[in-house]
C-alpha cells in the first residue's frame, strides 16, 4: 500500500508504532520495522543520551529497515538533556523522529540539517497547523479515544481526522482507537495517510513488558479506561485499577484544591513497577479505549500481516461490491 507516509518514511505499510514509556525498546521497534511498519524507540525511557545511543545501536543490529525515535518535550524545572538526546539521534544515523509534548521548533534546525524527518503528535487541528507552519514533515493526529494524553478538547477521530484533512497540506496519520484493518481503512477514508498504534502493539509477543500487562489489555473492554488529572489540565487516559480509583477519589474529594503532589504516589515513577514487574495496581498507566478490540497477543509480524490482509480485503471486496451494486 502506497501513501504519502510510506513514501516519506520509506516503509512498506502505513503503520507506525507510537513511542511508549517503558515499551518502546529496540526489540519492539525492530520487530515493527522488520514487518514493514515504522518502529519507534522511546528516548526518555533511556536515562541518558549515552543509553539512547546504545539502544539505537542495538536496534540497528536487529533491523536494516527504517526506524525512528520518539522524543517528548516536557515542561520541567530540571529538563532532560535534550541537546544530548538530539545528538545521540543524529550521531546514530536515525532519520525519523516522532516529537510530542511541547513545541519542538527549537530543535528542528539541528534535526533538519541532519536530514531527519519529523512527525509531531497533535491532539487538535490548531496544533497540527502550528506543527506544519514550523516545518514538521508530518503529524500524528490523536483523537480523544487514545491512550495517554488526549488533550483537553475531547474531539474523537471521526470528527478530528476529516477536520485535519480539510486544513493540512502535510501528510498525517490517525492515532487513537487504531487496532486492525478496519481502523486503517477508516483512517484512510477520513483523510489520513496511515495509522499510529500504541496500545495494540503492547499486546504483542515482542513487546518487552510483563505478561500481566498484555493480559490486562486483552481482558479489558472499551469501558475500562478512565481519564485522570483532568483538574490539572494534564488529562491522561489510563486503564482502570485500584490505584486509578484511589487517584480519582482524591480528585473528587480535593476538587479545585488538587495539586500534583496529592496524586504523585499514583502517577510518578510507577512505570517500571508495572511494565517490568507486573505490579498491576502500582499506579496509573496509559491505555486506549481500543483495548475493547484487542483479543489476542500475536507476534508483530502476524499482527501487521493480518491488518494489511484485512484492509486489502475491505477495499477490494466489501467496498468495491457496494459500488458495483
Kindly report the CATH number that applies to the domain delimited by 4-204: 3.20.20.70
Tens-level pLDDT at each residue, the chain (325 residues): 999 999 999 999 999 999 999 999 999 999 999 999 999 999 999 999 999 999 999 999 999 999 999 999 988 778 999 999 999 999 999 999 999 999 999 999 999 999 999 999 999 999 999 999 999 999 999 999 999 999 999 999 999 999 999 999 999 999 999 999 999 999 999 999 999 999 999 999 999 999 999 999 999 999 999 999 999 999 999 999 999 999 999 999 999 999 999 999 999 999 999 999 999 999 999 999 999 999 999 999 999 999 999 999 999 988 888 887 6
Q: Which residue has the cell 497540506?
A: 169
Q: What is the DSSP letter of 227?
A: E
Residue 141 is placed in which grid cell? 493526529
Residue 49 is placed in which grid cell? 543520551
Asked if 134 contacts 168 with a C-beta cutoff of 8 angstroms, the reply is no
What residues have CB less than 8 Å from 153, skipping those under 6 apart?
123, 124, 144
Cβ burial of 296 (10 Å; 0-12, 13-18, 19+) is exposed
Strand order through the sheet with 39-42:
15-17, 195-197, 172-175, 138-142, 117-122, 96-101, 67-73, 39-42
Asked if 110 contacts 86 with a C-beta cutoff of 8 angstroms, the reply is yes
Cβ burial of 273 (10 Å; 0-12, 13-18, 19+) is middle
* Among 233, 235, 240, 184, CA closest to 217: 240
What residues have CB less than 8 Å from 137, skipping those under 6 apart?
8, 117, 118, 119, 170
Asked if 51 contacts 23 with a C-beta cutoff of 8 angstroms, the reply is no
Whole-prediction pTM: 0.96
What CA–CA distance (Å, rounded) separates 285 from 283?
A: 7
Residue 143 is placed in which grid cell? 483523537
Domain ranges within the chain, ordered by starting residue? 4-204
Amino acid at each position: 500500500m502506497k501513501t504519502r507516509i510510506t513514501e516519506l518514511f520509506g516503509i512498506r505499510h502505513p503503520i507506525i508504532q507510537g513511542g511508549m514509556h517503558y515499551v518502546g525498546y529496540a526489540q519492539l521497534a525492530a520487530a515493527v520495522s522488520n514487518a514493514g511498519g515504522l518502529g519507534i524507540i522511546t528516548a526518555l525511557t533511556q536515562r541518558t543520551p549515552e543509553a539512547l545511543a546504545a539502544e539505537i545501536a542495538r536496534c540497528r543490529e536487529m533491523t536494516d529497515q527504517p526506524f525512528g525515535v520518539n522524543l517528548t518535550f516536557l515542561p520541567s524545572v530540571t529538563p532532560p538533556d535534550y541537546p544530548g538526546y538530539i545528538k545521540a539521534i543524529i550521531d546514530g544515523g536515525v532519520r525519523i523522529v516522532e516529537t510530542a509534548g511541547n513545541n519542538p521548533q527549537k530543535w528542528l534546525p539541528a534535526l533538519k540539517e541532519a536530514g531527519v524527518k519529523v512527525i509531531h503528535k497533535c491532539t487538535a487541528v490548531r496544533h497540527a497547523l502550528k506543527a506544519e507552519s514550523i516545518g514538521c514533515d508530518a503529524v500524528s493526529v490523536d483523537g480523544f479515544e487514545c491512550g495517554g494524553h488526549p488533550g483537553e478538547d475531547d474531539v474523537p477521530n471521526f470528527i478530528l481526522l476529516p477536520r485535519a484533512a480539510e486544513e493540512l497540506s502535510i501528510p498525517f496519520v490517525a492515532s487513537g482507537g487504531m487496532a486492525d484493518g478496519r481502523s486503517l481503512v477508516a483512517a484512510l477514508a477520513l483523510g489520513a495517510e496511515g495509522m499510529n498504534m500504541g496500545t495494540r502493539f503492547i499486546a504483542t509477543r515482542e513487546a518487552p513488558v510483563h505478561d500481566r500487562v498484555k493480559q490486562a489489555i486483552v481482558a479489558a473492554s472499551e469501558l475500562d479506561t478512565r481519564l485522570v488529572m483532568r483538574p490539572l489540565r494534564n488529562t491522561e487516559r489510563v486503564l482502570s485499577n485500584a490505584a486509578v480509583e484511589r487517584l480519582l477519589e482524591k480528585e473528587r474529594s480535593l476538587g479545585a484544591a488538587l495539586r500534583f503532589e496529592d496524586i504523585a504516589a499514583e502517577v510518578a515513577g510507577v512505570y517500571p513497577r508495572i511494565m517490568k514487574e507486573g505490579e498491576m495496581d502500582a499506579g496509573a498507566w496509559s491505555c486506549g479505549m481500543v483495548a475493547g478490540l484487542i483479543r489476542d497477543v500475536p507476534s508483530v509480524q502476524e499482527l501487521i500481516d493480518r491488518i494489511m490482509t484485512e484492509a486489502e480485503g475491505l477495499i477490494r471486496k466489501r467496498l468495491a461490491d457496494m459500488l458495483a451494486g
